[in-house]
Structure 1
Amino acid sequence: MYVPNHLKWRILLAQELKQAYFERENSLRNCKRIFELYGRYLLGTTYDTFLTYLNQRKYRIDNLRMPPYIVAAIGLLEPLRIASERLRLRKMGSPWTLQEIVEEVLTILRERSSTPLDRRIGQAQQHVE
């Protein structure tokens, strides 16, 4: 059954994914990467539909805001992916426990947060320019 509000939330989710993981260097490659890593699984659409969601002007979604826990979950997608890769390489063929995954994600988050604040601000300013 088609529900227009569901489509609006899907459009908003696609736009949040782009906002979180987009890099300006090569926009088409980066949109494809975002779709391949996350969009295909979270939205269950084709790449063309994903691009349509990113350019959607037909629906009024200005009044919609993602709940904070979903924004936080989107921010954790990359650390979870990296943690899964590390565990896959470390424990070839062995199952992982939830505790191992969480510990690995926390390690990744600690590594990222150990970057000095002024360095992170400088990197952010480079992306803006």
Structure 2
Amino acid sequence: MKAWISKQQIFVRSLAWLALVLGLKLVVHLLGLEALVLSPLHATAVAGGFFILGFILSATIADYKESERLPAEFTAIVENMYEDALLISRRHPFDIAGFREGLLAALDSLRDDM
């Protein structure tokens, strides 16, 4: 199973839920069990709810895409830092082994957090 949901799947699922809600509304209307009469205010509130939900879903999908890139970018940055440290240590010696252990600890911390 995919870890993310495509925009088309969200659209299809939304249509399915819409059909279910409209079907239930029709059944309640035909049976005369409506406790609330629809008004323009009610329709506006429902439309606003779907509008906000759309914003939330679009932001969530963007966050998932960003989170997929984070480990690779972090690893590349740590690798670049180590290569830079190796070059610097040629001219200005320092504890490169300790620096490497610190970078590995940062990578382990990222892995543990994910």
For the pair shown, which has the larger CA radius of gyration, 1 or 2?
2
Q: Normalization by structure 1: what TM-score?
A: 0.27
Q: Normalization by structure 2: what TM-score?
A: 0.29
Relative to its length, the structure with more helix (as a share) is 2
